[in-house]
Amino acid sequence: MAARWLPVWRRARQTDLIAPDEHCGVAQTLLLGVQHVLAMTGSTIIGPLLMGFDPNIAILCSGLGTIVFFCITGGRIPSYLGSSFSFIALVVTLTGYSGHGPNPDIPLACGGIFMAGLLYALIGLVVSVTGSGWIERLMPPSVTGAIGAAIGLNLAPVAARGLGHGGAGTACGIFALVCTALLAVYGSTLVRRLSILLSLVASTLVYVVVANGLHLATPVDFTTLMRAPLVGLPTFTAPHFTSHAAMLLAPVGLVLVAENMGHLKAIGAVTGHPLDSLAGRAFMGDGVASMLAASLGGTGVTTYVENIGVMVLSRVYSTLTFAAAGCFAILLGCSPFFGALLRAIPEPVLSGLAIGLFGLIAATMVRVWMDNNVDFSRAATLFPVGVALVAGAGDLTLTIGGVTLGGITTATIAAVLLNQILTPRSNSREPPSCP
């Protein structure tokens, strides 16, 4: 009998950890799906705004992309797709975006994003046919872990700046972070699973009291929220294809391969269910989802690192949760009211949560290294990892021949190239120990 494309999800037999092919009941699955959407909302709104894209379209495309990914991977990989930060620097360079208001050259950017998604999907097709061995040789656990950690560190300054420099707003953001940690450690099983959602609601209410009631911080403006209709489709934009945009943005597909591979390693490590054999499907799902997003005027999407942090906290890895999250995101994308509601969440609150989640991303990559017995006594391992971490955390941006490479891209290239250069030498003789 041919293997089923979709698994048969069974009710979880234990409460400590819910496996990808299990579920924890309809109510909890729906709530956890909402939590995943809200956990990535900050980045899915911030990312498009930094490029001048419509965040409502970005939310809609994240939901559609997640469903596409769920179907192509056969519901076997617990991942949510959201706006990729890997495109930001290059899109700004391509369009000359000023940083304020809508970007007038969104069609041009979408053309380049579409080509990056196409390259990504083609790599996935090749991996599905040939296996992921060559990808793993090119990007072993030491490299994928370094790239994954670099992504978390690269995003960290965004969260740190959003938290502010003191005052009542910063205190509310710290409250959100501490509240999440306390609920995740000391809460009951259900509370631990919903710790981020509960902290988001509680800290937002506290902020409204402090800012709107006591006037100790920048108040939340509810004007847009009250005027926004409950239901309505955003305005879609078709991509415009040029060779320049394709050459500039298509290589981002290689970065997304590394991101996704790192996510697969991380999820496999924390769940105890290796996902390497599904790498080809994952790449194709992500690539097709990015092509779909670009066709509608949305940003490129990728498996979202924030949601790995959510899974680590809740210990629920059921893929049905992400199907629910995708459907909820589609509803949000079709509702200007909910889009305005999400945009009304105070920035310090989102930033406080983001600091915790981005930290969990980096920590999860450490687990990838530990579970794969990466030997950090070897200089051949230390240099690629160390350079990637510094390039990512410092957002090392290079312009070569008119092409701008952002921090995540330079971290990826550095990790891959240094590993390929140093590994053959380390096989021929024992490398010197690091000073």
pLDDT, mean of residues 237-253: 87
Smallest Cα–Cα separation from 21: which of 312, 322, 284?
322
Handedness of CA 138, 77, 183, 215 (dihedral sign): positive
Paired tokens of 425: 């030498």
Going by pLDDT thresholds of 50, 70 and 90, the confidence category of residue 434 is: very low
Going by pLDDT thresholds of 50, 70 and 90, the confidence category of residue 100 is: low
More confident residue, 344 or 73: 73
Task: Return the pLDDT at 62.
Answer: 92
Going by pLDDT thresholds of 50, 70 and 90, the confidence category of residue 151 is: confident
Paired tokens of 40: 């990535």
More confident residue, 427 or 271: 271
Residue 435 has pLDDT above 60, yes or no: no
Largest CA distance in the chain: 69
Instruction: State the chain's mean pLDDT as an integer.
Output: 84
Going by pLDDT thresholds of 50, 70 and 90, the confidence category of residue 433 is: very low
Domain ranges of the chain: 32-220+227-374
Paired tokens of 47: 């990312």
Task: Return the pLDDT at 298.
Answer: 93
Residue 428 has pLDDT above 50, yes or no: no
Residue 397 has pLDDT above 50, yes or no: yes
More confident residue, 343 or 111: 111
Dist. CA 306–CA 39, nearest whole Å: 7
Task: Return the pLDDT at 210.
Answer: 92
Residue 177 has pLDDT above 50, yes or no: yes
Going by pLDDT thresholds of 50, 70 and 90, the confidence category of residue 426 is: very low
List, for residues 269-324, the tens digit of each pLDDT value.
Answer: 777 778 888 999 999 999 999 999 999 999 999 887 667 777 877 788 889 999 99
Task: Return the pLDDT at 42.
Answer: 59
295, 122 contact by CB (below 8 A) = no
Going by pLDDT thresholds of 50, 70 and 90, the confidence category of residue 133 is: confident
List, for residues 183-217, the tens digit of each pLDDT value.
Answer: 888 887 667 767 777 888 899 999 999 999 988 98
- How far, in whole angstroms, is CA 424 from its chain's centroid? 33
Residue 414 has pLDDT above 70, yes or no: yes
- How far, in whole angstroms, is CA 222 from its chain's centroid? 28
SS3 355: helix
Task: Return the pLDDT at 99.
Answer: 63
Segment (H or E) for 415 = helix 407-428
Smallest Cα–Cα separation from 62: which of 250, 298, 232, 353?
298
Q: 223: which residues sit within 8 A by CB, 6+ positions away? A: none
More confident residue, 113 or 102: 113
Task: Return the pLDDT at 1.
Answer: 37
List, for residues 41-90, the tens digit of each pLDDT value.
Answer: 656 776 787 788 888 899 999 999 999 999 999 999 998 998 887 787 67
CA dihedral 75, 364, 396, 111 (to 10 degrees): 10
Dist. CA 70–CA 75, nearest whole Å: 5
More confident residue, 174 or 84: 174
Percent with pLDDT over 70 in the chain: 92
Residue 2 has pLDDT above 70, yes or no: no
Q: 66: which residues sit within 8 A by CB, 6+ positions away? A: 79, 80, 81, 289, 322, 323, 325, 326, 329
List, for residues 213-224, the tens digit of each pLDDT value.
Answer: 988 988 988 888
Task: Return the pLDDT at 297.
Answer: 94
pLDDT, mean of residues 378-405: 85
53, 298 contact by CB (below 8 A) = yes
- Highest average pLDDT, of 4-8, 65-69, 251-255, comes from 65-69
The separation between the first and the last C-alpha atoms of the chain, rounded to the nearest angstrom, is 58
Task: Return the pLDDT at 43.
Answer: 62
Q: Which of 37-46, 247-256, 276-285, 375-384 has the lowest mean pLDDT?
A: 37-46
85, 47 contact by CB (below 8 A) = yes
More confident residue, 232 or 251: 232
Paired tokens of 29: 């699955």
Going by pLDDT thresholds of 50, 70 and 90, the confidence category of residue 359 is: confident
Percent with pLDDT over 90 in the chain: 30
Paired tokens of 210: 């402090």
pLDDT, mean of residues 107-131: 94
